[in-house]
A = this chain, B = another copy of it.
Amino acid sequence: MKTQILDHGYLKLIRSAGSDEDIIEAARMSTDKGFLGWGPLHAPGCQQYRPSTPKAVHAKACCDGIAGDEKLLKYLYDNKHATPFEFAWMVIEVQAPIFVFREWHRHRTQSYNELSARYTPLPDLNYIPTVERLMMNAGGSNKQAGTIAGANQLTPELAELHRRRLYDTYSEAEKIYQHALADGVPKELARIHLPVGRYSRMRAAACLRNWLAFLTLRMAPGAQWEIRQYANAVGELIAEKFPRTWELFVK
């Protein structure tokens, strides 16, 4: 159940805990009630009555139905009552280029454990963007993905040329790495010329509130396209595990 991302990356769910219902339950601590139910709730006499409806609801329900807990979830979300969304949690594993992890690790509310090149030689996986990706902002619409002043207009040919250069420099870096390791250079120093496009791997854990904060920044149009692909994959996991919260988030 890995989502493949970029040329050698992936993202997969290790574990999720809690649910949309748990968020309601946590929020209801403040009013001394629990989760009541989703969807319109109906009184005992009503055709659409479900026996599982809790007693507290029976008392108030009428045949027009009363709003279920979607309403509270929406209220919490819209009014930034954020702490109930801390009562769900998710752990993922992700393989991504180092420059993606550099952005990712600025989020100080997640837990991280990453492959360490001090302990283990890094696998020889390096990111080479496609021509299409390189050309993506050739129109210049995204300021944050801009070129330097006075640069040429990138063409598919120049993009392809850059890809070949990347391939060559990555290969050369790997050769030097292997030489250095074999020569007895400590692992922690043998790696310092490796490129930020090299892949690494980590596990990351956070509560739902903090995953959403991550997505708010990293799914935004101003975020670098590469980390956006990972953010989108996190979003898909949330959509699956916390569908009602996700619906509120994407709106």
Instruction: Tell me the A residues contacting B by CB distance below 8 Å.
Output: 14-18, 22, 25-27, 29-32, 83-84, 86-87, 89, 91, 93, 97-99, 101-102, 105-106, 108-109, 111-116, 118-121, 123, 127, 129, 133-134, 137-138, 144-148, 151-155, 158-159, 161-162, 165-166, 169-170, 172-173, 176, 179-189, 191-197, 201-203, 205, 207, 224
Contact = CB atoms under 8 A, between A and B. Distances in A.
A175 to B, nearest CB: 9
Q: Which 4 A-B residue pairings sit nearest by Cβ, starting from the closest?
A: A17-B17, A154-B184, A86-B111, A192-B197
B195 A154 contact: no
A239 to B, nearest CB: 20
Main secondary structure of the interface of A (DSSP, over half): mixed
Contacts of A169: 169, 172-173, 176, 193
A117 to B, nearest CB: 8
Contact of A108 (B30, B31, B108, B202): B108
B113 A26 contact: yes
A91 B98 contact: no
Given A15-B22, A30-B113, A119-B144, 18 more contacts: A29-B93, A29-B202, A30-B115, A32-B115, A32-B201, A89-B89, A98-B102, A111-B207, A145-B187, A145-B188, A147-B185, A151-B184, A152-B182, A152-B184, A155-B184, A166-B192, A169-B193, A192-B197
Kindly report how many copies of this chain are found in the complex they form together.
4
A132 B144 CA distance: 42
A153 B186 CA distance: 10
A113 B99 contact: no
A146 to B, nearest CB: 6
B181 A148 contact: yes
A113 to B, nearest CB: 4
A201 B185 CA distance: 27
28 contacts: A25-B203, A26-B205, A27-B113, A29-B93, A29-B203, A31-B116, A32-B120, A84-B113, A87-B113, A89-B205, A99-B192, A106-B112, A118-B144, A119-B144, A121-B148, A129-B192, A134-B189, A138-B184, A145-B186, A152-B184, A153-B184, A161-B183, A165-B179, A166-B192, A166-B193, A169-B172, A193-B196, A195-B196
